[in-house]
């Protein structure tokens, strides 16, 4: 058994959007960066082409996303460029490397460059850099495919401590709605949050009823327009709590999962194999464990079906060591672009019928049902006074549909995907 697997408890997950919630969260300018930024990324070349030549649909890599990031910085607005130019390196060494990495973010880091430098080796800083890099890579990869896309980059702060950066695209040519959020928050856990964690097996000893915590993560849901392109969700997060005696508990959670409107077996295999390759770098038992966990978690009980065709999901991962789990999370985050963008590029310009669009809207309704009825992070956030509602509901599509007693014909493409959602498959063996 992989050493990583020994650290996985059988606890229920908090949910993908739990990190950006909490009392006192509000939209607005950061204390360090005075304006709320709203700028459009530059329009790239048409999807699937490179210097006028057709590119292989499976040629996407993280390196390609990084190249898109470099090209994207040149076209940002003057205010945004001034912010990012302030992060450009002027010395050598580690500071130089950190500044270069920050220059690839969608916005300056939540904690500020000086603070990241001051605690460079701490896991909090390393995880913040990772989630900021992930946000930048994914956003620029999406913008490179969608010529009609424009990302709103929205900084917000939380009264109790910390803040976040929400990047949201709406009504593009390829994507109906794509949100990629980063949050870095700290303060004291609410009693409700502490009870929820204790119910998952956490033994938390408060000091006069207070539990200092720090949490950070990147969370995204991407809804395409074309029903032949699936929706993707991913979330990677880190949590740290200080108990009354000074002991610190920490854990990681996250995952990536796919929700297609229609089943394409080649796409399913590509998606799952890419995630499996990321997991296998850290142990052969991880992918099957986290694939099953994903199938079990994204289950719509009142419908008797899964939300999608799964992927990987894990929570409360706190062994064998902080460094080993971080390296695993980093591998998973780096697999997001290559597991998804080739599928988008392959199908985003395919023709579809009104009937296929209708089925997409019905499936979107199921997506909404899961997020509002079962997702623990969404439910917890909506029940928390002062939560940032826009960030919580970012996962919902612009459009969805519910039809009374809708049932697809037997042996149809619609019935085919339902069969897989009711009986999950092994896509890699």
Give the model confidence (pLDDT) of 338-371 as tens digits: 999 999 999 999 999 999 999 999 999 999 999 9
Q: Tell me whether residue 151 is in a domain.
A: yes
Read off the pLDDT of each residue in 143-161 and give the average, rounded to a whole number: 88
Alpha helices for 178-285 (secondary structure H)? 191-199, 265-280
In this structure, is residue 43 part of a structural domain? yes
pLDDT band at residue 238 under the 50/70/90 scheme: very high
Nearest-CA neighbor of 379 among 74, 11, 133, 15? Answer: 15
Q: 78 pLDDT exceeds 70?
A: no
The answer as to whether 427 is a domain residue is no
Residue 62 has pLDDT above 50, yes or no: no
Residue 291 has pLDDT above 70, yes or no: yes
pLDDT, average across residues 308-316 = 96
Query: Catalytic residue among 233, 270, 282, 347, which?
Result: 233
Q: Which residue has the higher pLDDT, 264 or 208?
A: 264
Kindly report the CA angle at 391 between 345 and 289, in degrees rounded to 5?
65
Per-residue pLDDT band for 43 (boundaries 50, 70, 90) equals very low
- CA neighbor of 315 nearest in space, from 256, 257, 255, 259: 255
Distance CA 167, CA 80 (A): 14
d(CA 177, CA 65): 19
CA distance 114 to 125: 11
pLDDT of residue 194: 61
Backbone angles phi, psi at 10, to 5 degrees: -95, 35
Lowest model confidence (mean pLDDT) among 56-60, 245-249, 364-368: 56-60
The model's confidence at residue 326, banded by pLDDT at 50, 70 and 90, is very high
* pLDDT of 209 higher than 80: no
Helices 265-280 and 286-297: crossing angle, nearest 10°?
Answer: 130
- Specify the higher pLDDT residue, 120 or 290: 290
Distances (CA, A) of 352 to 229, 344, 364, 424: 11, 15, 17, 26
List the single range of 61-65, 154-158, 172-176, 191-195 with lowest mean pLDDT. Answer: 61-65
Owning domain of residue 182: 4-422
pTM: predicted TM-score of the whole model, two decimal places: 0.80
Tell me the pLDDT tens digit for each residue of 376-413: 778 766 765 456 788 889 899 999 999 999 999 999 99
Cα distance between residue 237 and residue 213, in whole Å: 13
Count of domains forming the chain: 1
Q: Hey, what are 109's tokens?
A: 């880091």
Instruction: Tell me, yes or no, whether 428 lies in a domain.
Output: no
Say which CATH number the domain at 61 has: 3.40.1500.10
Chain segment 121-137, per-residue pLDDT in tens: 899 999 999 999 999 99
Q: Which residue reads 């040629």 in tokens?
A: 59
**Does 429 fall in a domain?**
no
Catalytic site includes residue 233: yes
Cα distance between residue 80 and residue 103, in whole Å:
11
Helix axis angle for 322-334 and 265-280, nearest 10°, is 150
């Amino acid at each position: 058994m992989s050493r990583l697997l020994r650290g996985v408890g059988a606890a229920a997950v908090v949910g993908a959007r739990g990190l950006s919630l909490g009392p006192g969260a509000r939209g607005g300018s950061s204390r360090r960066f005075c304006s709320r930024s709203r700028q459009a990324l530059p329009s790239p070349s048409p999807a699937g082409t490179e210097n006028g030549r057709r590119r292989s649909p499976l040629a996407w890599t993280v390196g390609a996303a990084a190249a898109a990031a470099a090209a994207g910085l040149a076209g940002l607005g003057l205010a945004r460029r001034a912010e990012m130019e302030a992060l450009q390196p002027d010395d050598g060494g580690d500071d130089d490397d950190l500044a270069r990495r920050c220059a690839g973010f969608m916005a300056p880091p939540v904690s500020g460059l000086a603070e990241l430098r001051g605690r460079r080796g701490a896991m909090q800083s390393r995880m913040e850099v990772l989630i900021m890099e992930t946000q930048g890579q994914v956003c620029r990869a999406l913008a490179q495919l969608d010529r009609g896309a424009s990302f709103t980059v929205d900084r917000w702060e939380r009264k109790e401590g910390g803040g976040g950066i929400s990047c949201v695209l709406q009504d593009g040519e390829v994507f109906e709605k794509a949100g990629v959020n980063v949050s870095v928050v700290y303060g004291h856990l609410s009693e409700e949050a502490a009870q929820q964690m204790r119910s998952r097996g956490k033994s938390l000893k408060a000091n006069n009823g207070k539990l200092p915590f720090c949490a950070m993560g990147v969370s995204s849901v991407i809804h395409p327009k074309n029903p032949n392109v699936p929706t993707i969700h991913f979330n990677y997060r880190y949590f740290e709590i200080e108990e009354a005696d000074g002991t610190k508990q920490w854990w990681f959670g996250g995952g990536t999962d796919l929700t297609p409107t229609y089943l394409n077996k080649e796409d399913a295999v590509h998606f799952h194999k890419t995630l499996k390759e990321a997991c296998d770098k850290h142990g052969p038992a991880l992918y099957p464990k986290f694939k099953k966990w994903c199938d079990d978690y994204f289950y719509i009980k009142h419908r008797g079906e899964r939300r999608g065709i799964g992927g990987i999901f894990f929570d409360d991962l706190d062994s064998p060591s902080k460094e080993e789990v971080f390296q695993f999370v980093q591998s998973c985050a780096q697999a997001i672009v290559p597991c998804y963008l080739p599928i988008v590029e392959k199908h985003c310009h395919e023709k579809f019928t009104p009937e296929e669009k209708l089925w997409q809207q019905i499936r979107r309704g199921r997506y909404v049902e899961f997020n509002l009825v079962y997702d623990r992070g969404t439910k917890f956030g909506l029940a928390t006074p002062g939560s940032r509602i826009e960030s919580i509901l970012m996962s919902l599509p612009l459009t969805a549909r519910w039809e009374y007693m809708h049932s697809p014909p037997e042996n149809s493409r619609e019935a085919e995907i339902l069969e897989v959602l009711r009986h999950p498959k092994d896509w890699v063996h």
